[in-house]
Amino acid sequence: MSAQDLSIDRPARKHSLALSIGLALVGLNVAVALLTLFWTPYDPLNASGGRLEAPSLLHWVGTDRLGRDYLTQIMIGARTALIVGTGAVAIGATIGVTLGILAAFATRLLDDVMAATLDILIAFPTLLLAMLVVAASDSASLWSAILALGLAISAIVARLTRILAKRVLRQDYIVASRTSGTSWPGVVLRHVLPNIWPTLSVNFALQFGLAVIAEASLSYLGLGAPPPNASWGRLLQEAQGTVYTAPVGAIAPGIALVALVIGMNLLADGLRDVGDPTRGRSR
């Protein structure tokens, strides 16, 4: 046997075009968001030019009706979007995966009750739920929006986790692992979570995109982050009145929003292909 036989032939991980574009768009967003922590082109809160200026070398995307630099606000909006997406998905994943795994282990009756509850929660419109939570809290804040979206996502994640975990738990290798003395928590950590992760991670990426859109919608309705926190949704809403005289103000945050969400979706698509070692083989 030659030395070459010592390695398994795995096709080089094919990074699809979708994954590359997705990574680039999301990466750009993250880079910009990090940059705003240290530097922005102008002070986001104070006028730095004339009102509703057209794009120029000084103000690449122009200024709003108070003379504030649009680019600065869009850059800070990227930070808001990332915080909302990450926060909501983190909350949704923590609650959702925990509940889903518990439901998969629960007795028949409890499982049925949980499944029905989740279905009802999912049927409830996300935005409406978010508006209720935001209205219930003292004042509209970024955190109440994140919490509301996180709760909505957790229902979806819990339902998905429950189904995936049940399917894994029926597999022979779970029994095989149990016969060698692995405890249930050990089975969950070693077998269930790794086996449902490829599907879950794709779902997380999709939910991230949806959370960003939902936050923009909430902000547009005045229920998201209150001023002076810049948010793409609020930029859109503020630009609404001047959309005919200064269309850039509406177009620019719109493009930023769409770019991040498309990037996230492409990333999800690409993740699906690289997440599973059994994929990409001849089928």
Partner 1 sequence: MSALLSVQGLTVRAGDKTLVSDLSFSIGAGERMGLIGESGSGKSMTAMAVTGLLPANISVSGSIVLDGQEVVGADEKHLNRLRGVATAVVFQEPLTALDPLMKIGKQIAEPVRRRLARDGQRPSRAAIDREVLDLLDKVALPQSERIANAYPHEVSGGQRQRVAIAMALACRPRLLIADEPTTALDVTTQAEILRLLDGLVRETGMALLFISHDLPVVAQVVERVMVLRDGVALEEGAVVDVFASPSHDYTRTLVDAARMFDEALGGTGS
Residue 120: left if φ>0, alpha if ψ -120 to 50, beta else—which one? Answer: alpha
> Whose structure tokens read 């004339």?
50
Q: Quote the tokens at residue 66.
A: 């108070």
6 binds partner 1 (CB under 8 A): yes
How far apart are the C-alpha atoms of 203 and 162, rounded to whole Å?
A: 14
Residue 255: left if φ>0, alpha if ψ -120 to 50, beta else—which one? Answer: alpha
Whose Cβ is closer to partner 1: residue 38's or residue 181's?
181
Return the closest-CA partner of residue 130 out of 118, 117, 143: 143
Rounded least distance, CB 261 to partner 1, Å: 29
Return the closest-CA partner of residue 191 out of 272, 104, 269: 104
Q: Which of residues 194-213 bind partner 1 (CB under 8 A)?
A: 194-195, 198
Among 38, 39, 139, 181, binds partner 1 (CB under 8 A): 181
How far apart are the C-alpha atoms of 24 and 28, rounded to whole Å?
A: 6
How far apart are the C-alpha atoms of 203 and 268, rounded to whole Å?
A: 7
Interface segment toward partner 1; rule CB under 8 A; list 27-35, 166-174, 204-212, 225-233: 166-174
Whose Cβ is closer to partner 1: residue 139's or residue 180's?
180
Q: Which of residues 249-278 bind partner 1 (CB under 8 A)?
A: 276-278
Among 183, 241, 245, 255, binds partner 1 (CB under 8 A): 183
Among 8, 37, 109, 123, binds partner 1 (CB under 8 A): 8
Whose Cβ is closer to partner 1: residue 4's or residue 139's?
4
Side chain identity at residue 133, one-letter code: V
Among 2, 5, 123, 244, binds partner 1 (CB under 8 A): 5
How far apart are the C-alpha atoms of 164 and 83, rounded to whole Å?
A: 28
φ, ψ of residue 63 to 5 degrees: the values are -130, 160
Side chain identity at residue 143, one-letter code: W
DSSP annotation of 175 reads H
50 binds partner 1 (CB under 8 A): no
Among 175, 243, 255, 258, binds partner 1 (CB under 8 A): 175
Among 57, 172, 244, 282, binds partner 1 (CB under 8 A): 172
Rounded least distance, CB 97 to partner 1, Å: 17
Q: Quote the tokens at residue 129.
A: 């739920």
Whose Cβ is closer to partner 1: residue 137's or residue 177's?
177
Whose Cβ is closer to partner 1: residue 9's or residue 138's?
9
Whose Cβ is closer to partner 1: residue 49's or residue 111's?
111
Return the closest-CA partner of residue 25 out of 220, 270, 272: 270
Among 138, 281, 282, 283, binds partner 1 (CB under 8 A): 281
Residues that bind partner 1 (CB under 8 A): 1, 5-8, 10, 171-173, 175-184, 190-191, 194-195, 198, 276-278, 281
